[in-house]
Amino acid sequence: MADLSVAFRKLRLANPVMPAAGTFGFGAEYGELFDLSLLGALVTKTLTLRPRPGNPQPRLWETPCGLLNSIGLENPGLEAFVAEILPGLLASGVPVVVSLYGETPDEVGTIARRLPPGVAALEVNLSCPNVPGKLSVLSPAEVAARVGAAREAFPGEMWAKIAPEGDFLASGLAAQAAGADAVVAANTFRGMAIDVEGRRPVFANVAAGLSGPAIKPLVLRIVYELCGALAIPVIACGGIASGRDALEFILAGAHAVQVGTANFFDPLAVPRVLREIGEVLSSQGVEVLEEVRGCVRKR
Ligand SMILES: Cc1cc2nc3c(=O)[nH]c(=O)nc-3n(C[C@H](O)[C@H](O)[C@H](O)COP(=O)(O)O)c2cc1C
């Protein structure tokens, strides 16, 4: 079995595969299906300062090879998470990455400051197309302000999860300059669907986030470009559903991968992706994942 361990600036993970924020809840249901200690890390659904009920139904809409979602950051809020959910997650031994979203840089700092010790990393969600009134993508200056606030409040490993739209290179560079230890690329693309009979948009919020296999080639190009431009690690997220998908991103230079929508059509997707990475590497005689990272760039 190849050595799949991966080193970040302030964190080392046993393997590079983790669920994407919001597609794995807090792990409870998946923990009944497989051993969560197999995960490189567990990324929580995004937490906000106060509880959020999320958007009205419908919230999910299937598209060819993809999924539109408009969940609207439904979550129990920071206080309930820290008191009732986090202790169990930390006790499970799996590295816990807390995803957070703040309406303002100050709010990002407030949430980051209130996280107790033991959290492996923070993931700052810098794009949420599904929050009412927030259909635009953050500018690089807004990215820098939020990442800077998180950096001031949280001394540990901190990741910036950017939008795939707008000037993603400028956003990645802004996150790096503001102190992010890694960039996660990326969140969903803004899309929409129309109810032809009802003659109205399917989603109350009009736009929704597109994810799944449909976006993989788009995100692969983004990750490839970010890996060429940034000095910090890039974590790939977009349409990954197999070990070969994950390896495409790693060959492009990604340090790690996150599996999102695939969890909905295969609840065992994360451990399967991990197993398949090992199988492909073994078949190629590769003993250390590090050997192949970014190798398409070196040709
Ligand atoms: C139902 C659903 C809920 C999501 N919730 C969040 C969230 O809470 N925070 C976040 O940063 N991203 C969220 N995302 C985006 C995913 O984490 C991921 O960035 C995106 O879906 C692309 O990866 P995928 O194609 O593998 O799903 C959500 C995606 C889906 C489909």
Domain with 103 in it: what CATH number?
3.20.20.70
| Residue 103 placed within a domain | yes
Sequence-distant (6+) residues with CB within 8 A of 272 are: 242, 243, 266
Confidence of residue 133 (pLDDT cuts 50, 70, 90): low
| Residue 178 placed within a domain | yes
The predicted-structure confidence for 166-178, as pLDDT tens digits, reads as follows 999 999 999 999 9
The predicted-structure confidence for 256-282, as pLDDT tens digits, reads as follows 999 999 999 999 999 999 999 999 999
Given this model, what pLDDT does residue 255 score?
Answer: 98
Given this model, what pLDDT does residue 135 score?
Answer: 61
164 lines ligand 1 (CB under 6 A): no
**Ligand 1 atom 23 nearest Cα:** 238
Task: Check pLDDT > 90 for residue 137.
Answer: no
**Ligand 1 atom 5 nearest Cα:** 22
269 lines ligand 1 (CB under 6 A): no
Q: What is the mean pLDDT of residues 20-44?
A: 96
140 lines ligand 1 (CB under 6 A): no
**Ligand 1 atom 7 nearest Cα:** 22
- Type of residue found at 231: A
| Residue 203 placed within a domain | no
Given this model, what pLDDT does residue 8 score?
Answer: 98
Q: Could you tell me which residue, 238 or 1, shows the higher pLDDT? A: 238
State the helix-helix crossing angle for 269-283 and 243-251, rounded to 10 degrees. Answer: 60
Number of domains in the chain: 1
46 lines ligand 1 (CB under 6 A): yes
| Residue 199 placed within a domain | no
**Ligand 1 atom 28 nearest Cα:** 22
Domain with 264 in it:
6-54+73-188+213-298
Given this model, what pLDDT does residue 297 score?
Answer: 83
239 lines ligand 1 (CB under 6 A): yes
Task: Check pLDDT > 80 for residue 155.
Answer: yes
Quote the ligand 1 centre to 20 CA distance (angstroms). 6
- Characterize 98-133 residue by residue with b for buried, 16 or more Cβ atoms within 10 angstroms of its Cβ, and e for exposed: bbbbbeebebbbbbbebbeeebbbbbbbbbbbbbee
**Catalytic residue IDs:** 128
Quote the ligand 1 centre to 212 CA distance (angstroms). 9
| Residue 62 placed within a domain | no
Quote the ligand 1 centre to 45 CA distance (angstroms). 9
Kindly state the tokens that stand for 54. Answer: 């999320």
| Residue 241 placed within a domain | yes
If you average pLDDT over every residue of the chain, what do you get? 95
Kindly state the tokens that stand for 56. Answer: 């009205």
Given this model, what pLDDT does residue 4 score?
Answer: 98
Task: Check pLDDT > 70 for residue 134.
Answer: no
| Residue 201 placed within a domain | no
Task: Check pLDDT > 70 for residue 20.
Answer: yes
The predicted-structure confidence for 278-295, as pLDDT tens digits, reads as follows 999 999 999 999 999 999
| Residue 208 placed within a domain | no
235 lines ligand 1 (CB under 6 A): no
Task: Check pLDDT > 90 for residue 298.
Answer: no
